[in-house]
Amino acid sequence: MRQQTIIAVDWGTTNRRAYRIENGAVIQTEQDTLGVTAVSPGGFPTEIERLRARHGGAPMLLAGMVGSNRGWMDAGYVPTAATLEALAGAVVRPIDGVMIAPGVRHVEARRGDVMRGEEVQLLGAVAAGLAPDDALLCQPGTHCKWAQMQGGAIASFVTAMTGEMFALLKGHALIGQEMTGPVTPGDAFVEGVHESGRGDLLASLFGVRPASLLGLRDREDAAAFVSGLLIGADCAAHAGKRDVHLLADPALGALYACAIAELGGSSVLVDSHAAFVAGANRLWEYLS
């Protein structure tokens, strides 16, 4: 590896995380809520200068929604099977010393999917040996990504609106009134995971309210049950009984690990920040 300093930034829709990396090791990080939607059109050069000033200068490698048409500059998508080398070959350079990595697209028959930012984590996890090079990787969240790696490349992937659906139901659905309790991987969550096996999500969700009304389930358990229903449906469709490497924070990771175990599979939690840094380092090697 060439000895060098870079500033790598995972710049999403609502959050941003920057890492100052010297000779492959993170020596400073910061996280804020200055996602791309919080930056005015034309405001990116200024924000980049501020960030660079705080971190002592260096070439910058940006990934995520900053490279979308809602960000600084559209960096496009590379097709599957996608490698770090392919990403490196398609970076865009909005100004001197700043590179934005492209996203990845996957098209299969009439179905298509895209990612932007997750690819650096996924490829980094494998590059760093945090996951085998044919792993099934999962990034839970608002839009949960499931990626099948092959020979260290992203061979295919699919996104489920699992977290967004939970928020929609809690915020705007009739059953949202019931969803006031905590969400933990306990009995109500597990009951939801198994209920999801009925393959009747629209009815299982409606059933939350009559279950309270008829005294069949404590209202306090409704949110955990709904979370189990949604995460259970997500895991059953995409993991089945396979082993999964989870790139997740501990709380969400515990819910997915529980659902995967209930469905007969097993999971390993991978540090998603370490995976991103590994991916950024390896990408930089191809670029420098």
Residue 107 lies near a copy of itself (rule: CB under 8 A):
yes
Mind spelling out the 3-state secondary structure of 231-261?
HHHHHHHHCCCCEEEEECCHHHHHHHHHHHH
Window 176 to 205, contacts with a copy of itself (CB under 8 A): 191, 195, 198-203, 205
Q: Looking at 173, 268, 274, 287, which residue binds a copy of itself (CB under 8 A)? A: 173
Q: Do you know the residue count of the chain? A: 288
Task: Give the nearest distance from C-beta 141 to a copy of itself in angstroms.
Answer: 12
Q: What angle do CA 138, 186, 275 make, to 5 degrees?
A: 25
d(CA 121, CA 147): 11
Task: Give the nearest distance from C-beta 69 to a copy of itself in angstroms.
Answer: 9
Cis peptide before 128 (omega within 30 of 0): no
H helix intervals, the chain? 44-54, 84-88, 118-127, 162-172, 187-196, 201-206, 208-213, 222-238, 250-262, 272-287
DSSP per residue, 23-51: TTEEEEEEEES--GGGS-TT-HHHHHHHH
Q: Which residues pair with 137 in a beta bridge?
A: 147, 245
Window 61 to 100, contacts with a copy of itself (CB under 8 A): none
Q: Looking at 41, 42, 129, 171, which residue binds a copy of itself (CB under 8 A)? A: 171
Task: Give the nearest distance from C-beta 209 to a copy of itself in angstroms.
Answer: 8
Task: Give the nearest distance from C-beta 259 to a copy of itself in angstroms.
Answer: 13
Number of chain residues interacting with a copy of itself (CB under 8 A): 45
Name the residue nearer to a copy of itself (CB basis): 53 or 214. Answer: 214
Residue carrying the six token digits 């097709």: 79
Name the residue nearer to a copy of itself (CB basis): 1 or 203. Answer: 203
Q: Looking at 174, 218, 240, 251, which residue binds a copy of itself (CB under 8 A)? A: 174
Q: Report which of 67, 50, 162, 198 is spatially closest to residue 120, judged by C-alpha positions.
A: 67
Residue 47 lies near a copy of itself (rule: CB under 8 A):
no
d(CA 157, CA 80): 9
Residue 198-237 contact track with a copy of itself, rule CB under 8 A, x = bound: xxxxxx-xxx--xx-xx-xx------------x--xx--x
Name the residue nearer to a copy of itself (CB basis): 204 or 281. Answer: 204
Task: Give the nearest distance from C-beta 267 to a copy of itself in angstroms.
Answer: 19
Q: Cβ(128)–Cβ(1) under 8 Å?
A: no
Name the residue nearer to a copy of itself (CB basis): 132 or 176. Answer: 176
Give me the residues that bind a copy of itself (CB under 8 A), please. Answer: 105, 107, 110-114, 143-144, 158-162, 164-165, 168-169, 171-175, 191, 195, 198-203, 205-207, 210-211, 213-214, 216-217, 230, 233-234, 237-238
